[in-house]
Structure formats: C-alpha cells, structure tokens
Structure 1
Amino acid sequence: MPEDHKQIPSVWARPPKERQQPLLTRESIVAEAVRLLDEEGADNLSMRRLGSRLGAGATSLYRHVANKDELLELALDAVYGELPLPDTGEWRSTVTEVSRALRATILRHPWLAAELAEAGLAYLGPNVLRQSEFMLGVMEDAGFPPGEADQAVTTVMAYVVGVSSSEAAWLSMVARSGQSEQEWTERLWPAAERAVRDYPRLRARYAAQRAGDTSGSNEETFEYGLQRVLDGLQTRLA
C-alpha cells in the first residue's frame, strides 16, 4: 500500500465526522410531534414515524419520552402554552378572550379536542396548570366561592371544547377530501336537502342557509352560546 494511503494514528489527523442526525431534546421532539399531529392526526403518530421525521431512530426518542401516551401528554401541554393569560380587569371579558383563544387553538390543532376528552390523560403539565390556576383566580376574583369557581371554569371549558370539537372534526373531514370547504359543502347540499324533506323546520333552515352568506356562522354560533353560558354564570353573582 502506498505510504500516503496509510492511516496516521492520531485523532488530530482524522477529519471530523459529520453529525448524522440533529441533537435531540425533549423540546425538539415535542415540537415535531405537534407538527406531525397537525398534518396527519393522532392515528398516524408513532415513535418510528416521528423518529423518521427527525432523522433519528425510535430508540433515540425513547431516551427522552417513554411512549406514545407520554408524547401526547407533552404535545397537549405544549399547545396549551399558546393560550393567553389576559388581564382585562373584568371577568366576563377575560373569560371570553380565553374561550375564543381556546377555540382558535383547537381549530389550529384539530387533534387536541379528542386528547382533551381522554380520561387517561393527567393534566399535570406546567402550561395546563398555569392556565387552570389563572382561570380559577379570575372566577374567584369575580366573586365565586372557591368550590363554585372550579365548577364555573369546568362549565365554560366544557362548552368551548364541545362546540370546537365538532367544528374541528368538520374541518378535518374537509381537509381529507382534498377540496375547499365551499366545494365540499356544495357536494353535500343535495343529500342534506333530500334528508330534511319531511322535517319542515330543518328544511326551512337549510334553505335559508343555502341562500345566505354562512361564512361567519360558526363564529356567530360559538359567540352566542358562550355569552349565554356567561349570562347564566352572571346570575350566580347577583
């Protein structure tokens, strides 16, 4: 073998190896998991699939996260970090702002609503706890006794998550179709109108919706229900 092909026995003589994969941290893993969930849904989340997106093996991920359930807990808490802690000086406006933000967050992350409904998830993440503590403080400062403040927060959150879940499910279905919301709605109208032929109130409602501008109807419906929930809570303070 020619002399110049012999390896020089020194670490300083060897060219440094290129890093084969990015440095993994729990934060980077969770951030990519949220992106995967947004794009493909919870059914397609797996440690192997996530590792492939990160350019790492699944075993590398297990050094930071024990399993998929733990990953979902972390992803849920990370998304909760997007919610504001507004200081409006008035309980109804503060609760309204947080509720609107939670709805917007669920629509950005359609998988979130289903994970919030999972009984097995432990809501002990720092962002979830911070939001819960904040909302309890808002209700207690408004005049609700501590026990009732907790029930008031639960009532508002149940309304927001319930309505937003249906809206998120619709948007997910439209996204899977590969069509715009308007195109998908136009395809559904004939079947919907046939289905309600024998139900005069529903028939009239569908006809009015088709004839009018429904672009802001979801937001209007959400806002109507939210304010009626808050009206009911307001009576408890009287």
Structure 2
Amino acid sequence: MDEIVAAAMDLADGEGIAAASLPKVAARIGVTTNALYRYVDSKEELVVLVADRAWGAAPELPADDWRAAATTWSQRLHERFIARPWLLDVPTTLPLTPHTAAWLDVLIVGLGPAGLPSNEVLYSAYLLDSHARYDANLRRNAPTPPALSVTHPDRRRAVRGFLDVQLRARGLDAVADVMRDPAFVGDATSPDGFEFGLARILDGIEAHVAGGRGR
C-alpha cells in the first residue's frame, strides 16, 4: 500500500491530483490496474489516502496564546497549499482522515484560551481554512504573463494604460484608480495580502471575544 500511495503522490505532485488515476499508478509501479483493487476500491479511496499523506503531521503551535496559535496554524496551512496546490482540488467533502483530524485538533486546542464555544471554534477554523485556500488558489491561478512582468516595464505600463482607458470609458473609475496604485501593480513593496487578510480575520475574532461572544 505504501508504494501505491507514494506513486500516486508523485503523479499528483507532477501533474495534479487528476493524474493520480489507478491506471497511471499501476503503470508507475509496474502492475496491472486490476492488481490495485486488492488494496483500494476506487480512485476516490486512493485520493483520500494520498491527500492524507500530503497533509502530513500537524504543526506545533504556541501555547496559551490563541491568536499566535491561529496565526501559526494558518501560515503552515497556507504553506502546505502553496507547496502542493493539488490539495486545493481535493474535495472538501471528504471525511476527516488521521492527518486532517490532527490539524483540526491542534487548532481547537490552540483556540482554547479564547473561550469560544465549540460551534464558534469550528466557524473560526472555517474562516482560517477558507482564507488560506483562497489566497493559495489566487497565487496558483495568477501567473505573471510576459507582457506584465517586472522585467518588461514598458509593456506593463502600456497594458495598464490601455486598461485604464477601457475602465474609465465604462465609468469604472474606482477600479481604475486602484489599479494605478503602485501598491497594486507591484511598482512598490506592499504588505503581503495573505498576512493582511489573516490579521483582519483575527482582529474580528478578537473583537468578538472581547465583546462577550455572541452579544
């Protein structure tokens, strides 16, 4: 079984989770597809096993500081999605597996000092997980085309100028103004979007905790 999961993970790392099909895995380890059915019942079952291995061990979190724990957990989760973006394509409807359960467990423990009821702990986990997924997916789907690359400033300015005219012709001045901001287009160093969003989520949870939770 270990060889099967390892082969499937290699395929997923190289070509995405769709490539981790039973025929491809069988070919990778030199057996027939039918031979794999002695170990897994379907590709869906194989995906569960591969995804669980990809998650790996849950991170160690700071103790007695729920905000620091939530920050570290979210950062490690974001890093995991960046390292293995195919995890974003694994259905979120899959049941908890040993590793995903461990990730959730350490976050529940880490959020303990906040004193939130169980349902709000899970809601907070959902917010943090969703933010990490969304940002990682943006990074995956937003490669820098040559025309906009920082190595081609003249072409980048030309494209921005063209878009500016198009947006303003449609009365979309607010969007045009944002896109001309150096922090948006990358002409100047700007705060990391993931960290900014994470801090605002935690600010919201902190305000909720300070306000008496649920009032």
Stretches of 4+ moved more than 4 A in 1? 187-193
Post-superposition Cα deviations, 1:156-201, rounded to whole Å, max 9, x if no partner, equal: 212222222222233xxx4xxxxxx474743895656534432434
User: Identity over aligned residues, as a percent?
Assistant: 24
Post-superposition Cα deviations, 1:92-125, rounded to whole Å, max 9, x if no partner, equal: 11111111111111111111112144x3x222x1
Residue 146 in structure 1 maps to residue 122 in structure 2: no
Residue in 1 that maps onto 2:101 = 129
Q: Aligned residues, how many? A: 198
Map 1:30-179 → 2, pairs under 5 A: 30-117=5-92, 119=93, 121-123=94-96, 125-170=97-142, 174=143
TM-score for both structures, normalised by structure 2: 0.79
Change (3 A) 1:210 1:160: closer
TM-superposed deviation, 1:71: 1.0
Structure 2: stretches of 5+ with no match in the other structure: 211-215
| Distance in 1 (alpha carbons) for counterparts of 2:132 and 2:186 | 28
Alignment-mate amino acid for residue 138 of structure 1:
G
| Distance in 2 (alpha carbons) for counterparts of 1:84 and 1:184 | 39
Residue 222 in structure 1 maps to residue 194 in structure 2: yes
Deviates more, 1:185-194 or 1:79-88: 185-194
Supply the RMSD in Å over aligned alpha carbons. Answer: 2.5
Post-superposition Cα deviations, 1:134-155, rounded to whole Å, max 9, x if no partner, equal: 2112223321122221222122
Contact conserved, 1:38 with 1:108, CA < 8 A, in 2? no
Change (3 A) 1:30 1:192: farther
Name which one, 1 or 2, has greater alpha-carbon Rg: 1
Residue 28 in structure 1 maps to residue 3 in structure 2: yes
Structure 1: stretches of 5+ with no match in the other structure: 1-25, 175-180
TM-superposed deviation, 1:210: 4.3
TM-superposed deviation, 1:49: 0.8
Alignment-mate amino acid for residue 100 of structure 1:
Q
Residue in 1 that maps onto 2:213 = none
Alignment-mate amino acid for residue 235 of structure 1:
A
Post-superposition Cα deviations, 1:66-114, rounded to whole Å, max 9, x if no partner, equal: 1111111111111221541323431111111111111111111111112
Alignment-mate amino acid for residue 103 of structure 2:
Q
Change (3 A) 1:211 1:162: closer
| Distance in 1 (alpha carbons) for counterparts of 2:173 and 2:76 | 36
